[in-house]
Structure 1
């Protein structure tokens, strides 16, 4: 009860303050997003409260189940989001991936609870294409072997291959596949593409069927989505269909490749080499059949991890969260 002055009026300093509405909380697990950055400021500018919990490996069961407690939205890295986790997410309204792939999220379970799921396409395809080209060049010129030998005091004079005139096979023609095709064509490579979304206006690319691409590629690069019948797209029979001099490049999804069959194909000379930025299980398990093979180059899922791509992807995910919470249709929903 307010105290009163001598004339019976309440003191201004002692009046009760109006009740403040708590800001909606937004979970952020993407490890390159930090308090005070552009994403943090954008969310706060819309009256939201970012909560950072960076994904740095598997969380314990209790941590997974409580991850979304009290959260209205989430900006996620590629960590798994299961139906069990979503069953405990009673306040969650939207999940936005700070990247393109969303196969780590149980979209069907989310939709069943009315949780929108969005991704950020078109934010990292140039980065993906540039790393793909870098991996191709490393394989063609045997740069890993050479630099390792020089570091160990040797001076090898390895003969590599020119890319001009070789065949670049691309499976999938989304933004990453398109950007990779352009780089390959610019270097004078013959570009074959297997896709359900052909671009007849692009004279620099020959669109053909999957088996033809696999059979003729000197460098076979994967840019298609996982799921929908594409798991283990590259299995033992398709590895045997490749040229023995061919190199497989995967910057798309680890689940596209049968790693046990790939390890055998690399060991017995069925194909010449592989360069993988994504794996079925990440980080690379110590007992993986790929460990110890000299003709495979493995990077740590960093195809889209440039400073420029990270900035675009983080902001795109933040805008998706804001749109849903402010009752607008997000730009890139994957649930509809």
Structure 2
């Protein structure tokens, strides 16, 4: 008498643009996994996360708060993959204690973010959003804007997206400065000049944020930093909202101490009704779209699925903590 078939191990998929029957789903099923799709319908708490993770060995996730409490109550979980670059929503230390590999996808949407950054720079320089709003309201705005040529772009961070911005900005005739913690040996870019943060802030006509959110960068752009910037300067943020002190930014723009800001990310998303960023002339808030192209989504889904399968088979390629497991086993 033959043994009953063994149930396929389950992986959870929460990234909202991945759906049952798509090529990512097919890839995971062909690799021998059962899939469970649970896209978020709003902010997701610990209890809901624990419930949807029940029995799952792997998870392909968006921005869910993967906290110590979640990892402690997901005993079957062995691998988590973020379908993006940032992983500040994942408590990697807690995952390590729970024996769960955590991976991100470095550079997967760099081109999309770089092009979007240039779009925001152009929108700010040419006042595109207020002009369109004026026409929609029945007017015909004719205020002048500015050209990017001859202006200075300051890049805060030198990851894959920032590096992809450099040649685009140079093609527009901009001077590019960069502040980064990347060692000098990793700064092989003759098109950008590397400077300290104080010089970056005072010299930039446009400051574009591309650094990760860490305890050291939280509110790095605060009232004191904003006070160093030119009153004609603009801030662009496609990284993480909490890097910028939003109340200080709103106050600076309202007072004319900064010309404006284009923010693709905010500290709390979606933007709360009571956010200080609301209804500030000169500040435009977008809905976290920098990496959301069809091409980048497809790459993130497939690369994420490949990484999840590799991690569950003990061979992750971009794990942030798997080396710690290896060390423990030595």
TM-score range, shorter chain: over 0.9
CA RMSD of aligned residues (A): 1.2
Once residues 56 and 184 of structure 1 are traced to their aligned partners in structure 2, the CA distance between those partners, rounded to angstroms, is: 37
Mapped to 2, the partners of 1:48 and 1:61 lie a distance apart of: 25
User: What residue number does 1:290 align with?
Assistant: 277
Instruction: Specify the alignment match of 1:211 in structure 2.
Output: 198
Q: CA deviation digits over 1:115-136, x for unaligned, max 9?
A: 0000011210110011111011
Q: 1:26 — aligned with what?
A: 11
Give the whole-Å Cα distance in 2 for the aligned partners of 1:242 and 1:334: 35
Gap change, CA 1:118 and 1:200, over 3 Å in 2: closer
For the residues of structure 2 that align with 1:251 and 1:307, how far apart are their CA atoms? 18
2:154 to 169, 177, 185: 169
Bigger-Rg structure (1/2): 1
Aligned to 1:64: 49
SS in 2 for 1:169: strand
Measure the CA separation in 2 of the matches of 1:89 and 1:57: 21
Matches within 5 A, 1:251-266: 251-266=238-253
Q: Is the 8 A contact 2:46 2:65 kept in 1?
A: no
- Map residues 1-336 of structure 1 onto 2, 5 A cutoff: 16-197=1-182, 198=184, 200-328=187-315, 330-335=316-321, 336=323
Distance in 1 of aligned mates of 2:98 and 2:21:
32
Gaps of 5+ in 1: 1-15
Q: Deviations over 1:33-73 (max 9, x none)?
A: 01111110111111001100002321355313323110000
Superposed displacement of residue 324, structure 1 = 1.5
Instruction: Give the superposition deviation at 1:151.
Output: 1.5
CA drift of 1:200 comes to: 5.0
Secondary structure class of the residue paired with 2:102: strand
- The two structures have a TM-score, normalised by structure 1, of 0.93
Question: 2:187 & 2:12 partners in 1: Cα distance?
Answer: 43
**Aligned partners of 1:82 and 1:105 also within 8 Å:** yes
Helix, strand or coil for the counterpart of 1:67?
Answer: helix
Q: CA deviation at 1:319?
A: 1.1
Determine the C-alpha separation between the residues in 2 that align with 1:321 and 1:62. Answer: 23
Aligned residues: 320
**Cα 1:111/1:201, change in 2 over 3 Å:** closer
| Structure 2 spans left out of the alignment, 5+ residues | 324-330
Are the counterparts in 2 of residues 138 and 144 from structure 1 also a CA contact under 8 Å? yes
Query: Residue 304 of structure 1: SS of its match in structure 2?
Result: coil
